[in-house]
């Protein structure tokens, strides 16, 4: 496409910038629909797992956008298409009543409503620890994630340890809470959208999916439109920045053009530009994206690979799930890229299935040096001594062996509520030997494995997971050096 005047270029960039909010809200509407479905027939036991593998959104961002879609804040949702930043719009649900929307929006447009600032600047000065204290803090964080049953950030894990210590909570109470089965969510009907859906011009009018497969098709259409929009906007911004066309558009700086003209940050535009330029400079990754590799995986490849290893990482990205690729790139960042790639090449040569490496699920070793809250070393020592999960017995030792991590390669949830699953059922002659078991979360065990929707079997030294639709993942054990 040949570009015309600076005015026409700005007009296209404005349209693309505003389309971002419209497409995100359409995607969130689809996720809100999937949220109310039984995802087990697709091979997923939870919405977060489905979204990670199929959408690429992190849990917090996904929940905030779906909450906005599920709200009755029609004016706020429409304002997103007219330039209200999504980071501001997601603050409204739970804080703004429908009859207060207009007033809140006026305050937001005046810049009086902003995302909460990080409290790190006001945090207590940290202390530097190493050796035994560092290992103790690392162990406390790991234990906190286990009892919470969610992949807490370092900050979240520290907050849980410190809070438990300050309250002097009994260890039995913490463990009982960790084992408690959460109540099923109570889904309210999603309110009517209220007015035209701005994504209609981009991906067609909204319609309720007929079934799960139809929902997946609609999801892919929106994902494709989001991918094309991001790359196109990055290319156009690169042209503007390279030739200084923002001045012809009437803006003194690129930041002013982004803020005043497009309603976004220059940082966002720079990310789009960087991605577009990286894909142009890396034709191997660029071709993979054109052939269907999603941008989240492509960005992991671009971040991790060297020029001589790009093709290898693309192959790994195409033959692994999102969770597995994230683990692989983290392992590579620890200086093991050559060994990691060699092991994946070996695994991919053994099967035509998607592959996973069991040892990649092992935690990273404790850092040699840490800067932490001054109370954390004492709190960590108390936490590790106080919160002691009882040793497992019999076949339950499978859970300890697998660190209470769900071995479903598309799940990976770690929780004290994990179950021990027989690869060969007792009714079929299977033993209680640990080699006949894997740890799985309660959802994957009861809703997938024991309903027959997902099969798990051992083939030699590997375990093969087969999901609805025929996709299979072969999980290989690898040497201890990866742990």
Q: How confident is the model at residue 185 (pLDDT cuts 50, 70, 90)?
A: confident
**CA separation for the pair 131, 137 (Å, rounded):** 10
Show me where the domains of the chain are located: 6-116+191-270, 282-352
Among the listed residues 289, 331, 297, the one whose alpha carbon sits nearest the alpha carbon of residue 313: 297
Interacting residues of 213 by C-beta distance below 8 A, sequence separation 6+ = none
Q: What residues does 440 pair with on adjacent strands?
A: 419
Q: How confident is the model at residue 482 (pLDDT cuts 50, 70, 90)?
A: low
End-to-end CA distance of the chain: 50
Report helix, strand or coil for 457: strand
Per-residue pLDDT tens over the stretch 59-92: 788 899 999 999 999 999 998 888 788 889 999 9
Per-residue pLDDT tens over the stretch 256-278: 999 888 888 899 999 999 999 99
Query: Average pLDDT of 306-311?
Result: 94
Please report the pLDDT score of residue 83 as a whole number: 77
Mean pLDDT across the chain:
90
Q: How confident is the model at residue 4 (pLDDT cuts 50, 70, 90)?
A: low
Q: 124 or 408: which carries more pLDDT confidence?
A: 408
**Residue 117 reports pLDDT greater than 70:** no
Give the chain's length.
483
Q: 310 or 366: which carries more pLDDT confidence?
A: 310
**Residue 450 reports pLDDT greater than 50:** yes
Percentage of the chain beyond pLDDT 70 is 95
- Do 366 and 134 contact (CB within 8 A), yes or no? yes
Crossing angle (nearest 10°) for helices 310-318 and 283-290: 20
Which token pair is 59? 């849990």
- Do 178 and 417 contact (CB within 8 A), yes or no? yes
Per-residue pLDDT tens over the stretch 92-115: 999 999 999 999 999 988 878 876
Q: How confident is the model at residue 359 (pLDDT cuts 50, 70, 90)?
A: low
**Residue 425 reports pLDDT greater than 80:** yes
């Amino acid at each position: 496409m040949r570009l015309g005047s600076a005015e026409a270029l700005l007009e296209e960039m404005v349209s693309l910038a505003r389309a971002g909010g419209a497409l995100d809200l359409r995607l969130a509407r689809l996720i809100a629909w999937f949220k109310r479905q039984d995802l087990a027939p697709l091979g997923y036991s939870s919405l977060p797992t489905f979204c990670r593998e199929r959408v690429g959104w992190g849990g917090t961002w996904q929940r905030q956008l779906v909450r906005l879609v599920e709200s009755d804040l029609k004016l706020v949702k429409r304002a997103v298409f007219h330039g209200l930043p999504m980071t501001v719009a997601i603050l409204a649900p739970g804080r703004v009543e429908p009859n207060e929307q207009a007033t809140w929006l006026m305050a937001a447009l005046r810049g009086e409503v902003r995302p909460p600032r990080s409290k790190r600047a006001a945090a207590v000065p940290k202390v530097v620890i190493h050796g035994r204290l560092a290992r103790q803090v690392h162990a406390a964080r790991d234990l906190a994630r286990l009892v919470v049953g969610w992949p807490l950030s370092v900050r979240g894990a520290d907050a849980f340890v410190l809070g438990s210590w300050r309250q002097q909570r009994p260890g039995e109470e913490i463990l009982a809470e960790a084992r408690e089965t959460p109540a099923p969510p109570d889904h309210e009907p999603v309110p009517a959208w209220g007015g035209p859906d701005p994504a209609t011009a981009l991906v067609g009018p909204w319609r309720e999916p007929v079934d799960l497969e139809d929902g997946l098709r609609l999801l892919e259409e929106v994902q494709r439109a989001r991918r094309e929009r991001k790359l196109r906007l990055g290319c156009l911004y690169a042209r503007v920045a390279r030739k200084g066309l923002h001045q012809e558009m009437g803006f003194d700086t690129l930041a002013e053009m982004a803020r005043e003209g497009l309603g976004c940050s220059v940082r966002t535009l720079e990310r789009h530009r960087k991605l577009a330029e990286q894909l142009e400079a890396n034709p191997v990754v660029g071709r993979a994206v054109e052939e269907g590799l999603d941008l989240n995986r492509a960005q992991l490849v671009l971040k991790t690979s060297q020029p001589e290893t790009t093709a290898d990482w693309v192959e790994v990205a195409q033959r692994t799930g999102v969770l597995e690729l994230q683990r692989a790139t983290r392992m590579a960042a620890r200086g093991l890229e050559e060994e990691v790639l060699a092991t994946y090449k070996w695994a991919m040569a053994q099967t035509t299935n998607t592959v996973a490496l069991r040892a990649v699920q092992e935690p990273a070793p404790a850092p040699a040096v840490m800067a932490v809250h001054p109370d954390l070393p004492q709190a960590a020592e108390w936490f590790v001594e106080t919160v002691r999960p009882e040793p497992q017995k019999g076949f339950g030792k499978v859970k300890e062996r697998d660190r209470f991590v769900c071995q479903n390669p598309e799940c990976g949830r770690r929780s004290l509520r994990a179950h021990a699953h027989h690869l060969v059922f007792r009714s079929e002659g299977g033993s209680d030997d640990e080699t006949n078991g894997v740890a799985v979360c309660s959802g994957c065990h009861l809703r997938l494995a024991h309903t027959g929707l997902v099969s798990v079997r051992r083939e030699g030294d590997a375990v093969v997971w087969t999901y609805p639709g025929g996709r299979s993942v072969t999980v290989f054990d690898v040497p201890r050096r990866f742990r």
